[in-house]
Amino acid sequence: ERFDATGLHLLPGAIDVHVHFRDPGYDYKETWETGTAAAAMGGTTTVFEMPNTHPPTATADAVADKLERAEANAYVDFGVYGLLAENNVDQLEALAAAGVIGYKCFMGNTFGNLPSPSTGAMLEAFERIAPLGLRTSLHAETASIMAWRYERLRAAGRHDPLAHVAARPSVVAVEAVARAAILSEWTGARIHVLHVSSAAELRPMAEAKARGVDITAETCPHYLRLSTEDYDRLGSVIRVNPPVREPADAAALWAGLADGTLDMIATDHAPHLPKEKHNDVIWDADCGFPGVETQMPLMLDSVNAGRLSLCDYVRISSVAPAKAWGLYPAKGRIGVGADADIALVDMNRTETIDQNQLHSVNARISPFHDVAVTGVPVHTLVGGRFVMRKRRLVAEARGHGRNVKRIQNMSKANIQNADRTLAAEIAKTPEKS
């Protein structure tokens, strides 16, 4: 059958540096198969997966085990994060050798209940990571302040949705971003701030960038497209860490993406069972929801609405993450990021997001259910192979996704070999005078 791309736009596939695929340990919520199928359906060709699985990805063995699960099942390319916690600072080099894409540090507590490192442990960790050149992604909220606020509001019987925002005031993120930036500046370790949700965090971000700190940051579609005005309508479904904030915050995040204070878009894809999301007390519902399948349609819809240009979307969904994690082909070179990871999108097609159709089959619940979007990926290719064709998953492509860390090492070796061959050819060629 002939392939016809008439009327479509060809974009690099999205690189989502923030997904939770739950395998091992919580595979009743999501697996590598379902999570990467959702990515393929959403035009995302590379995912970096978070370590709050069970066991957490805190040792070389845990990395090897997770990579095996991914290699056997993934539809799209992947990297896995290693955990940076209070009690595994001595494992960081071993994690690098086992092939992590970078580290994840939970400065604040969240799903999985992993121990947040003290500032001292973070400093020691950053000193060890700096020479490795890997980037550390931060859940930047201050655990101690958060716990104290939470207890106080609970004691006051404040279980209303807006108390959920109040319990995690953006100042806890401001403090954490500023502190992490100081540790990064001190040690030279690269950092990335996950899920920026508020206007207030942009100030320490911009200041750190102005000082030359190697810091990048993401925000997520839910912080751009939702606000406290949606709390009544969505109830506990909207619960996420950090929380969705005021309309003025969303406006500031759009501005941050436009002026470069924020580098990229990621999803914090956080699947939970629908019954775990539904709770009369919003504070007792699990945090997060699937996002990897809906990111591109939501953002392309925002392109159509004039919020950003298509070029800006390519910058924040693919170019910026590729550059930050060293997946971008060096000038004049073919490398990772140039191996035909492609989304073909129809900017004129309108679809209504239906949570019951999500490929995260155990977590079919979304705050974007019933939202009509214009701009939809129609075909996705990973390494030149279809993983979604005409809006259908290509089942045979299961297990075709590759570990980007391995591709990266291969392409480095290829470049060195090519350089050697070229040098030999040049040496053989007699100079003409």
Q: Which of residues 238-257 bind ligand DOR (CB under 6 A)?
A: 240-241
Q: Which is nearer to ligand DOR, 266 or 393 (CB)?
A: 266
Q: Enumerate the β-bridge partners of residue 388.
A: 380, 393
CB 369 within 8 A of CB 354: yes
Return the residue of 16, 30, 268, 341 that touches Zn ion, per CB under 5 A.
268
- Contact call for residue 379 and Zn ion (CB under 5 A): no
Return the residue of 22, 69, 135, 139 that touches Zn ion, per CB under 5 A.
139
- Contact call for residue 111 and ligand DOR (CB under 6 A): yes
Quick one: residue 73, left, alpha or beta (phi over 0 = left, psi -120 to 50 = alpha)?
alpha
- Partner in contact with 52, chosen from ligand DOR, Zn ion, none, beta carbon below 5 to 8 Å by kind: ligand DOR
Site string for ligand DOR, 136-165 (x = CB under 6 A): ---x--------------------------
Could you tell me the two tokens for 431?
């100079």
- Partner in contact with 111, chosen from Zn ion, ligand DOR, none, beta carbon below 5 to 8 Å by kind: ligand DOR
Neighbours of 342 (CB within 10 A): 20
Q: Which is nearer to ligand DOR, 52 or 362 (CB)?
A: 52
The order of strands in the sheet holding 44-49 is 14-19, 44-49, 77-83, 102-106, 135-139, 190-193, 215-219, 264-265
Q: Enumerate the β-bridge partners of residue 49.
A: 19, 80
CB 328 within 8 A of CB 322: yes
Q: Which is nearer to Zn ion, 268 or 346 (CB)?
A: 268
Q: Which is nearer to ligand DOR, 26 or 313 (CB)?
A: 26
Q: For residue 14, report the phi and psi dihedrals to the nearest 5 degrees.
A: -70, 145
Q: Which of residues 46-105 bind ligand DOR (CB under 6 A)?
A: 52
Q: Which is nearer to ligand DOR, 19 or 74 (CB)?
A: 19
Q: Which is nearer to ligand DOR, 289 or 325 (CB)?
A: 289
Return the residue of 221, 288, 375, 377 that touches ligand DOR, per CB under 6 A.
288
Q: Smallest distance from the beta carbon of 336 to Zn ion, in angstroms? A: 24
Instruction: State the Cα–Cα distance between residues 74 and 79, nearest whole angstrom.
Output: 11
- Contact call for residue 277 and ligand DOR (CB under 6 A): no
User: Is the link from the previous residue into 51 a cis peptide, with omega within 30 of 0?
Assistant: no
List the beta strands (DSSP E) in 57-174: 77-83, 102-106, 135-139
CB 307 within 8 A of CB 254: yes
Q: Which is nearer to ligand DOR, 270 or 397 (CB)?
A: 270
Return the residue of 165, 287, 358, 382 that touches ligand DOR, per CB under 6 A.
287
Instruction: State the Cα–Cα distance between residues 238 and 308, nearest whole angstrom.
Output: 25
**In the chain, what are the helix, strand and coil shares in percent, each to the nearest 5?**
45, 15, 40
Stretch that binds Zn ion, among 82-90, 174-182, 267-275, 351-359 (CB under 5 A): 267-275
Q: Which of residues 13-42 bind Zn ion (CB under 5 A)?
A: none
Q: Which is nearer to Zn ion, 62 or 345 (CB)?
A: 62
- Contact call for residue 20 and ligand DOR (CB under 6 A): yes
Q: Which is nearer to ligand DOR, 175 or 207 (CB)?
A: 175
- Contact call for residue 168 and Zn ion (CB under 5 A): no
Compute the CA torsion angle 130, 132, 136, 142 (nearest 10 deg): -40
Asked whether the CA dihedral 48, 50, 56, 59 is positive or negative, the reply is: positive
Q: Residue 331 gets which letter from DSSP?
A: T
CB 371 within 8 A of CB 15: no
Q: Which of 77, 83, 85 is nearest to 16 (CA)?
A: 77
Stretch that binds Zn ion, among 54-62, 136-144, 340-348, 359-367 (CB under 5 A): 136-144
Q: Which residues bind Zn ion (CB under 5 A)?
A: 139, 268
Q: Which residues bind ligand DOR (CB under 6 A)?
A: 20, 52, 110-111, 139, 240-241, 270, 287-288
